[in-house]
Structure 1
C-alpha cells in the first residue's frame, strides 16, 4: 500500500499541465474570482467544463454579455426526468465559459451525455460502502498514522474538520477554501481546492457512476489536447486526481491514482437514472451543480464522494454503449431565492446574495468587511421594519464581533459563518421565537435576495414557450413578469373566460409545466364542487419544462394531445390499459378539451371497464360519465355525451353484477361504495337483479355489509323504512354477549354509512334505533356504550 502524502499529492495535481487541473466547487466565490487569472496563466486554448455534452449548443448564449445570472441549463434524458444546472456569477464554471468567450478559446463539455446509460450506475465500486468523509464531528484527537502506514478511513476529513471551528455539520469547503482565500494568490486558492478534493476522495469509495463519468472526461480531454493544444479542465475537485495523466506525477494512493489495480470490470445493478455534475467535494456539502427535480420537492445529488482501490483509468463499459435517445435541453432564467439551498430547489448554496457580495470583493479583506457592514445595516433596517430594536449600536457591535471572531480564528477576513454567529448573538439576543423569527425573515431578505436572471435575447426558444406566455397574457393569468405565487378561483361553467383559463391550466398540468397546482374545493353536502381553485406561480422550472415539452407541439393544445397520446401508446405497449389508466386518460382528455382523444378513450372504456373494473373504479367512472353527459367537461361533443350515457347504463349493470363480491368485506370503503351505488342507480330501476343481490348481502354478508345493504334497500324502496327501524332496534336488544356487541358495531357502522341519504329520504328508518337507545336502562346503556360509540363513528359531521 502506497503511503498517503497529502503535500506530494497536491504538488502533483498543481503541477499538472496536460491537462491544467482547476478543481472547483459549484457556487464558489473564491474560485470564481480567480478563475480568469488562473486560465490566463495556463494559456488555455481549450477549456473542458464538467457539463453533459448535450449543453454545448447553449454555451455561446450562457457566455453572452446580455445574459444576466442567475440562469440555468435544464435537460431531460430518456426517462424524462428534468435536470437543472444553475449558474450564478460566483459559479467557477460560468467564469471559465465567459473567459473563453473573451479570449477566443474553445469550450468543451466533458461529462456524460444525459442519455448515457452510465448515469444509471450506482454504489461504490468496491466493498466497504461509501464513507462520505464529511462528518463535521470527527474526532480531532485521533492519532496520526505512523510513517509508512495508511491513515484510517476519514482521517483527512477529520484533519480538515479539526482545522476549522470543529462544529458538527460544518461546511468543510467553506472553512478550508473560502474563508482562507482573501488576500491569497490565485494559485494558492487553486491548490487549496485541489487539496480538499483529493482529501475527500482519499477518504471514501468512488461510486461506479463517477468512474464512468471520469472515463468520459479523460477521453474528451485526450481528444481536446490532440495536436499539442493546451487544455484546462474545470471540473469538480473530487474528480481531479482521476484526470492526472501518468508521468505528470501521482496523486496519492492506489485507490485514487492512475495505474492502481483492482478494477474488475463489473458495475453495480442499474437502479435508475442519476443526472448532474457534482461539486467535486463530496457528500455533505449539498452543492451538486446538476440535480434532478421530481415534484416531491427532493433532489438527487450529482454524485457521492469517495475513492476506490480500482484504476480510474480503466475503461467503463457503460460509456461505450450507444446512447438510447437524445436529450432535450433548455436555457432558462433562475433566481436567488431558488438558488438558496433551503428553498427546496436543487443545486443551491446558502445565502446567494452574500456570496455575490464576496465575489464582488474579489478577495480583498477590506471590501469583504465593507460588504459585511452593508449586510448588517440591511438586517437592522429589516428588524426595525418588523418592530424590533436594532440601531447603530447593535449594528456596530455585530460587525465588531464578526471581525473579532475572524481574528481569533486566524482568518484574513470574516466569512459567512462568523457573520451569522455575530448576527445571531447580537441581533437575535437568544430568542428563538418573536425576535428570532423576525431575524430569520431579515436574513432571508438581506442574505438570500430575490434577484432574477435574464437569458440573452439571442437565445433560441421553442414555439411552445412564447405561445403559452401569449395565451397567459390574453387570459390575464400570472406571467414571467409576475413570478410570485397567486391563488385563483375559477367558475368554468358560468364564465367563458374562466372556462378558457381552466382548459389552459389543465393542459399545462398534463404536460408537466409546474405552473399551476390544483387545490381542493369544498362542496355543499354530498354534491360535487363545480368551481376550481389553483395556486399559480411562474418559477424557473416553467420555461424549462415548456421547452422540453415543445417536442410534442408548439401550442398547449398540441403538447397536451401529444403527451396524452404518448401515454396511451406506452400503456398499450405494457399490456394495458388498466381501468385506472383509462379513467385517468379520459378525464385528462375531457378537461383539456381534446375531443378526438375523448372519443378514443371512451371506446377503450367501453371495452375495458365493464369486465375488469372493480366497484370503486366503476363508481369513479359513473361520476366522470355523468359529468360528461351533463356537459361539465369542455372536451365532449354531442356524440361523446350520447356515448357516455350509453356506457353509464352498461357500467351500472356491471356494478350490480359485482355486488356478491362484497359479501365478506369488512372494509368501510366497500360499505360506502355500496351506498354510493344506490345513489347512482336509484333513477334507473335495475329490477330483480339488484333486489336479489342486495337481499343476499343483507342475509349472508358480513355484519358491516349487512347494515349497508339494509340501508340501500330502503333507499331504493325495496323495503319499508319502518321495518328497518324495528330491525335495528332489535339489534340493540340482542347485543348481550361480546360477539353480539362486536357484530352490532359493524352493523351500525354499515347502516350509518347511509345516514345522510336515509335522513333525507326516510328519517323514520332511524327513529326506532334512537328511541331504543334512549330507553335503555343505565346499566344496559353502559354495557353497550363502547359498541354504540364504535358504530356511530361512521357518521360524518355533515350527517
Structure 2
C-alpha cells in the first residue's frame, strides 16, 4: 500500500498541470480531495460542468448558513476530479463534513465568520492569511509568521507570492517532495487551533477508512499546509476520534452552482482567493509562450476599443517584459512584468487602457455553467427553463437591454425580472427608460453566484418563479405571517406596484386587503400623501399592461378623500424644513392626481374646504351631476387652503402657482402683490417667490406684470433685507435653466431702456414755468 500526498496551491495553474501529470504517473486506485464528503455523490456530474463552478453547501431552512467551494479549470482539485471520473477511479472528499462546519457557532472562535470561511485553513499563496488560517476568526495557537513569507525570505525574496510563482507555478514540474519537506520544516513546533485540528483529524480518518477498504495506491490532493499532518507517523486513532467526538451537526444539502472569475478573488470554502483568475487561466491554457500570447490578446482587446495598437507594439512589449523578468531574476515574466510592459508600450501610459486590460483579461468575465442533470431545487430549474425560453442568458458582465412592453416576449421578460426582484434575486436592475412612452423599460443584467442561494432560500414558497413570487408578496403584506402591523403604508403601496409590474394577479387581493386595512387606520396625512403616487402608478400600470386590479381605484379614491380632509390641518404651524418636506408631498400628489381619470366618484360625499362652502370656490371642471372628479376634488382643497392667512410663504406661493397652472386663478398678480407688500416680512416674501417660481422661470418671461412686481419688490429692499433674503433668491433663480435666466435678464434690460426713454420724453413748454421758478430760487436768471 502507498499513499501519495500532493501539496498544492488552490487555484494554481502550475500545480494543476503537475497534479494531472503525477496522477497519470501514479495511476492510483482512489483519489482523496480536500472538500466536504457530502459532495461525493456530486463528483459524477463534474464532466458535464463548465468551470468555474462551486460546491454549495447550505442548511435547509437557514440558507444564510452556507459555504462555497469554488473550482476553476486551473484548480488542481478540479483536474484530479476530471482525471478520476475519466479513468473510472473513485474520487472522494476528505475534509470536515459541511454538516459540522455549518453547525459551528458563528460568534465563537471556532466558527466561520462568514459563509465562505467554513473551509478553514489551507495551503500557501492564493490569499491565505499569514498564519494559514484561511480567513478571519482563526482562533488560538496559530503560527505568528507567514510560512510562505519565511520561505520566501530565506530565498531572498521580498514578495512571498512572487517566490511561490517562481519556484512552483512557473516551473511546470511542481516538486511535491520538496514542498512537503518545506512545509514540515515550517510547521515544526506548530500547534494547530481547534478548527484546524479537527479538519486534519477528519482527513486522517478518511485516509484510514480508504486504506481499510483495500485500496492499495491512494493519492491525496490537499493544501500544501496540511501535507505534514497526513504524512509520516500519524497520531493514534483514539486521539483523532476524541477531537471529532461530540461535534455539533446540522442537516446540510449540497449541489453545484455556477461561479465567476470575479468571485474567485474572494475568501470562500478553501479560504484561498486569487486576484488574477484570468491570468491564471491563461497560464494554464497556454503553457508555451504565455507572455507572447497574453500581450497579443491584450493588443486585440485594445483594438476592439478603437485604440491603434500594431504588431510592433506587441513585439516591443514582449521584449520589455522579458527584460524586466531578467533584471529581477525571474525565470518567466509574471503578471507584474507583463502589466508594466503593456502600460508602457501598448497603452502608452494611459491608465484607462490598463484598467480595460485588467477588467477584461486579468480578472475576466467568465461565468460557469452547470448541466440540467445537476441536482437543483424546482425553483432553480424553472428559472433555467424561463431563461432559455425568453433568450436571457445569465452573464457575469453588465449587459443592458431595452424592453418594448407591447411585444409579448419583452413583456414576459419584464414580468420575470420583476418577479425575481420580489424574491431578492436582483439579476436585473431597472434603469431610466429611453423615450417617454410607458411601454418601455431599460434593465441592466448581471448574474451573481449568490443568486442561486437566494433561489434555494425561497424554494419552499413554490416550485415556479411566479408561484414563489406571489407567495412572497402575500407574506410581505402580512397575510402569511400575521405581521401586517409591522408593514408601513408606503411598503404596502410599493408592494402593490411590484405585484402589478410582476403580473401577479393571484397575490393582489391579499395585498390590497392589507393595504385597505392599513390605510383605514393610518391617521397621518403625510403617510397617505407619500403612498398615493405609488398607488396611482400601480393603477395606471394595471391599465397599460392589461393586469386586472379590481378594488385599486376604490382605495385610491378613499386615500385621496382622506388627504383632502387632513391637508388643511397638516399645513398649520410649519417651520421652514417642515414646509419644504410637505411641499414635496403636495407636488407628488398633484402629479399623481393628473394621471387619474376625470370620471366622477360614485360613492362618498364631496370633500370641501374647511373654511368655505364648495359652491363658492369649486373649480370650473367640477361636475354638476352629483359627483366630482379627483382633479376637481384636489383643486377645491388647494384653493381653500391658499386663501388662509396663516400659511408658510413657501406653501402659499406653491399653491398659488399650482392653481394658476390649472386655470383656477384669474389674477395672480394681485396675490403676488399682496405677498410682496411692505407689510410682509422680506423672508416670507422670498419664501413665497421660491414656492411660486419652483415650477420654472418662464412665467416671468411671458408675464411682464409679474416680472415687474418681483423686480419692484427686490429693488425696494434695504441693504440688510437684501442680504437676508439673498440665499433664498439665489436658490430660487439658480434652479432656472440658463435660457430662462438669460431671457429674464433681457426682459429687465429692455424694461430699463423703455423707462429711461420715458424719463427723457419731457414737454418743454409745460416745464418752462417750473424751470424759471427754480432758477429764481437759487438766484440765477433764466436764460
**So what's the TM-score if we normalise by structure 2?**
0.67
Equivalent position to 1:391, from 285, 288, 311? 311
Q: Could you tell me which residue of structure 1 aligns to residue 402 of structure 2?
A: 489
Give the CA deviation at 1:503: 1.8
Q: Could you tell me which residue of structure 1 aligns to residue 534 of structure 2?
A: 624
C-alpha separation in 2, matches of 1:443 and 1:186:
32
Cα root mean square deviation, aligned: 5.4
Does the CA contact (< 8 Å) of 2:66 and 2:102 recur in 1?
no
Higher RCO (Cα < 8 Å, 6 or more apart) = 1
Q: Structure 2 matches for 1:168-317, cutoff 5 A?
A: 171=161, 174-175=164-165, 178-179=168-169, 181-191=171-181, 211-212=194-195, 215=198, 218-219=201-202, 221-222=204-205, 225-226=208-209, 228-229=211-212, 234-237=221-224, 248=234
Deviations 1:76-116 (A, max 9, x none): 55145886543222112213333443363341363453892
Deviations 1:170-215 (A, max 9, x none): 736745754564445332245557778x59x97xx99xxx855763
Q: Structure 2 matches for 1:348-747, cutoff 5 A?
A: 349-359=274-284, 368=288, 370-380=289-299, 386-388=306-308, 390-391=310-311, 395=314, 398-403=317-322, 405-407=324-326, 409-425=328-344, 427-428=346-347, 431-433=348-350, 437-438=352-353, 441=356, 453-456=368-371, 458-465=373-380, 467-472=382-387, 474-475=389-390, 477-479=391-393, 485-492=398-405, 494-521=406-433, 531-537=440-446, 551-568=460-477, 572-573=482-483, 576-612=486-522, 614-630=524-540, 631-632=542-543, 634=545, 636-637=547-548, 639-649=550-560, 651-652=562-563, 656=567, 659=570, 663-664=574-575, 666-667=577-578, 668-677=580-589, 686-689=607-610, 699-700=645-646, 704-705=650-651, 708=654, 721-730=668-677, 734-735=680-681, 741=683, 743-747=684-688
Give the CA deviation at 1:32: 1.9
Q: Could you tell me which residue of structure 1 aligns to residue 618 of structure 2?
A: none
C-alpha separation in 1, matches of 2:108 and 2:13:
31
Does the CA contact (< 8 Å) of 1:666 and 1:704 recur in 2?
no
Give SS of 1:686's match. Answer: coil
Equivalent position to 1:113, from 93, 98, 116? 98
Give the CA deviation at 1:155: 7.1
**So what's the TM-score if we normalise by structure 1?**
0.66
Deviations 1:340-372 (A, max 9, x none): 789xxx9863444542353357xxxxx55x222
C-alpha separation in 2, matches of 1:658 and 1:777:
33
C-alpha separation in 1, matches of 2:300 and 2:402:
37
Give SS of 1:86's match. Answer: strand
Does the CA contact (< 8 Å) of 1:29 and 1:178 recur in 2?
no
C-alpha separation in 2, matches of 1:681 and 1:446:
52
C-alpha separation in 2, matches of 1:413 and 1:544:
41
Unaligned runs of 5+ in 2: 112-121, 128-140, 613-636, 741-783
> Cα 1:679–1:548, aligned 2, differ >3 Å: closer, same or farther?
closer
Does the CA contact (< 8 Å) of 1:579 and 1:609 recur in 2?
yes
> Cα 1:658–1:572, aligned 2, differ >3 Å: closer, same or farther?
farther
Deviations 1:447-498 (A, max 9, x none): 66666655456434555455445545555x4336x88754333343x55554
Does the CA contact (< 8 Å) of 1:100 and 1:106 recur in 2?
yes
Does the CA contact (< 8 Å) of 1:350 and 1:448 recur in 2?
yes
Give SS of 2:514's match. Answer: helix
C-alpha separation in 1, matches of 2:232 and 2:576:
71
Does the CA contact (< 8 Å) of 1:339 and 1:348 recur in 2?
yes
C-alpha separation in 2, matches of 1:531 and 1:598:
23
Give the CA deviation at 1:45: 4.2
C-alpha separation in 1, matches of 2:524 and 2:154:
64
> Cα 1:581–1:404, aligned 2, differ >3 Å: closer, same or farther?
same
Give the CA deviation at 1:602: 0.8
Q: Could you tell me which residue of structure 2 aligns to residue 255 of structure 1?
A: none
Structure of higher CA gyration radius: 2
C-alpha separation in 1, matches of 2:57 and 2:42:
11
Does the CA contact (< 8 Å) of 1:728 and 1:769 recur in 2?
no
Give the CA deviation at 1:603: 0.8
Count of matched residue positions in the alignment of Structure 1 and Structure 2: 664
Deviations 1:255-299 (A, max 9, x none): xxx99xxxxxxxxxxxxxxxxxxxxxxxxxxxxxxxxxxxxxxxx
> Cα 1:756–1:353, aligned 2, differ >3 Å: closer, same or farther?
closer
Does the CA contact (< 8 Å) of 1:61 and 1:67 recur in 2?
yes
Q: Could you tell me which residue of structure 2 aligns to residue 364 of structure 1?
A: none
Does the CA contact (< 8 Å) of 1:616 and 1:673 recur in 2?
yes
Unaligned runs of 5+ in 1: 1-16, 126-131, 137-149, 251-257, 260-310, 362-366
Give the CA deviation at 1:558: 1.8
